[in-house]
Structure 1
Amino acid sequence: MLFRSVLASAVAVAALLSTPAVAQDAEALKAQVGAYVQPSNAERMNVLVAQLRAAGFNPTVETFEGGGRAGPMQGSNVVVTLGPDTGAGAKEILLTAHYDAVKLRDGTMSQGVIDNAGSVVALIGAAKILRDKPLTHRVRVIFFDQEELGLIGARKWIEAHGVANVAAVVNSDVAAYGDTMMYGQNNGAQSAFVTRAAQELCAERAMQCVGFPVYPPSDDRAFSAAGAPVVSLGFQDEIGAHQMWLAFNGGETNGLAEGFVPQVFRVIHSKDDVIEAVEGATIATAGATYAALIQKLDAQLR
């Protein structure tokens, strides 16, 4: 009976995704992700700003002096502000993702769609949902530059704005395929309530979720280092998520074959990070999930 019910659920989900309207939406989201396949991060930023404006937002571009080992390089963080104008000193909730892609060893740019244009389009979707909600906190949706150079965009934003008014941060990285949400649990005691909110949402939505005591670093680490409450989220297929959990948390007896590298780490930062691997349905799920998590935190922080 259990097998039959699981099989019936899987068939029902497959049938839903095969309907013309849902399939069209998924393809449209995948096309939005594909637009970020550009020869430079500056051009990726232009795509981001254009998509935000097309969605009815008025983004702010904050430039900074960053760069990596190759020398100084101007970067640009892109910000959309939602919710009430609560005035100076009021607590804010941040929803973040980086839009830059890594430069490969041969000097070309990665397509950077799994890492991390999928998250970017998901955040735009979340922002579209949130602008129609009765929020009590100001919400800033921030798209960071130069994450691939060492979390520089996030660090520069913190330098410019501080974290005294930051009540919670939700970060997304590598969210472009699969139906299993991963969340980090290693951002300090101050982040426990944000992690708990993510866990509650997983239970309420009957989502497949995997918590990582040790989770790969992203822009969340800049915020946890500054003492801000933060959780980092991503999506992957269920098997890949568990393999990644074992690789980071299973120790010497993790059961993985010697030298095994989880698929996601063979894809990102490589020529295999390509649009064909992106699933539009995941982008839609991630956007709706992030919006729901922000609403949950907005209610809990009253």
Structure 2
Amino acid sequence: MRPVLASLSVIAAALTLAACETTSVPAAPETPVAAASADYAQLMEDLRILSADDMQGRDTGSEGGARAREYIVGRLEALGVQPSPMGRLQPWEMQGRTREGAKTFNGTNIIGVIPGTRVADKYIVVTAHYDHVGANDGQIYNGADDNASGVATMLELARRLKASPPEHTVLIVALDGEERGLLGAKRFVEAPPMPLSSISMNLNFDMTARADSDGKLWVTGTYQHPYFRPVLERLPARANVALAFGKDTPEDKGADNWVEASDHGAFHRAGLPFLYFGVNYHPDYHRPTDDFEKINPAVFQDSTELAIAGFRALDAWLDQ
């Protein structure tokens, strides 16, 4: 995740979109919370492996990034998550940003498909970026929270969806190049494996672990899409983490406005409904101290449970 200044044009577009969408807000159904997993060993292992030093900070185009990609592909295949019609990998070449200026990056998105039982021709695209900022001055930026955590949460969701299938067909998409300007997400919406018109929504996980400071997993996007909020407000809080709504209004300025702060921004610009789940900033954000050892397992597990419960509620409500 990265801080972004909200432009006047973005705010104006959000106001216009919200005005169009608030005319009719269907009632949210009663949706049971998905049963909790009794075993978080794989969730924690995914987080540990993806944020280990040998991943070298997972920069786009680096050996560490390729190693992380190989690991994620292996996990999806072990789970039995099939490739998309366009294949498992979506390579791309795009201009992105560095500290020294613009640079051409070669990245690769990873795509899996889990068929739906009720609305098989409509898709929920679940995203989490697997890249981070690499190494600098001899220090590795492991990005445990940003965003090994979101990928681990997404893989846990995929595991549960294979055991208990979703109602919509789900695309599990590990995106590359988020830290370089949402590059992988931009490429995905430019060349999706299905028509954009068949995408019901994007649900983006970015930084799902470190809710210690405020006990909140923030949901951004209900200002733009207010019909989602009643669906999620029914979800009970976990012992350590509760859902909170915001960071998406015209009053939220600068780094406190998250409408374009991660990969969901590319879906938003393409006119697609989105929600973003993520924790607040913390002192280790974009620092070499964002390490696995800083993660409180109970907090991360509660955040993951809420994220999965949120998915299940949305999946049950959409396209009724």
TM-score (norm 1): 0.73
* 1:92-142, Cα deviation, whole Å (9 max, x unpaired): 111111110113543754101110001111111111112233433111111
In the alignment, the residues of structure 1 paired with residue 177 and residue 104 of structure 2 have an alpha-carbon distance, to the nearest angstrom, of 12
Which residue is 2:305 aligned to?
Answer: 288
Q: What code does the residue aligned with 2:216 have?
A: M
In the alignment, the residues of structure 2 paired with residue 87 and residue 184 of structure 1 have an alpha-carbon distance, to the nearest angstrom, of 25
In the alignment, the residues of structure 2 paired with residue 101 and residue 206 of structure 1 have an alpha-carbon distance, to the nearest angstrom, of 27
Which residue is 1:244 aligned to?
Answer: none
Counting helix residues as a fraction of each chain, which structure ranks higher? Answer: 1
In the alignment, the residues of structure 2 paired with residue 225 and residue 202 of structure 1 have an alpha-carbon distance, to the nearest angstrom, of 31
Task: State how many pairs are aligned.
Answer: 251
Q: CA deviation at 1:67?
A: 4.2
**Which residue, out of 33, 41, 50, partners 2:47?**
33
8 Å contact kept, 2:129–2:175: yes
Q: CA deviation at 1:277?
A: 0.8
Q: CA deviation at 1:204?
A: 9.9
- Secondary structure in structure 2 of the residue aligned to 1:164: helix
Which residue is 2:242 aligned to?
Answer: 208
Q: Percent identity?
A: 27
In the alignment, the residues of structure 2 paired with residue 64 and residue 85 of structure 1 have an alpha-carbon distance, to the nearest angstrom, of 32
Determine if the alignment matches structure 1 residue 147 to structure 2 residue 178: yes
**Which residue, out of 203, 222, 233, partners 1:170?**
203
**Which residue, out of 265, 274, 298, partners 1:230?**
274
In the alignment, the residues of structure 1 paired with residue 243 and residue 308 of structure 2 have an alpha-carbon distance, to the nearest angstrom, of 17
**Which residue, out of 128, 133, 138, partners 2:159?**
128
Q: CA deviation at 1:148?
A: 0.2
Distance 1:122-1:225 versus aligned 2 partners, 3 A rule: same
In the alignment, the residues of structure 2 paired with residue 291 and residue 85 of structure 1 have an alpha-carbon distance, to the nearest angstrom, of 18
Determine if the alignment matches structure 1 residue 220 to structure 2 residue 264: yes
Determine if the alignment matches structure 1 residue 194 to structure 2 residue 194: no
In the alignment, the residues of structure 2 paired with residue 84 and residue 27 of structure 1 have an alpha-carbon distance, to the nearest angstrom, of 27
Which residue is 1:50 aligned to?
Answer: 74
Structure 2: any 5+ residue segments left out of the alignment? Answer: 1-36, 57-63
Q: What code does the residue aligned with 1:57 have?
A: V
- Secondary structure in structure 2 of the residue aligned to 1:175: coil
Distance 1:156-1:195 versus aligned 2 partners, 3 A rule: farther
In the alignment, the residues of structure 2 paired with residue 210 and residue 94 of structure 1 have an alpha-carbon distance, to the nearest angstrom, of 22
Which residue is 2:217 aligned to?
Answer: 182
* 1:150-198, Cα deviation, whole Å (9 max, x unpaired): 1111110000025321112211111123363332445763x22234423
Question: What is the root-mean-square deviation in Å for CA atoms of aligned residues?
Answer: 2.9
CA radius of gyration, larger in: 1
The aligned runs of 1:47-126 (5 Å cut-off) are: 47-59=71-83, 60-69=88-97, 70-84=102-116, 90-106=121-137, 109-126=140-157
Distance 1:274-1:66 versus aligned 2 partners, 3 A rule: same
Q: CA deviation at 1:298?
A: 2.0
8 Å contact kept, 1:93–1:169: yes
The aligned runs of 1:9-28 (5 Å cut-off) are: 25-26=39-40, 28=42
Q: CA deviation at 1:29?
A: 3.0
In the alignment, the residues of structure 2 paired with residue 282 and residue 58 of structure 1 have an alpha-carbon distance, to the nearest angstrom, of 31
- Secondary structure in structure 2 of the residue aligned to 1:267: coil
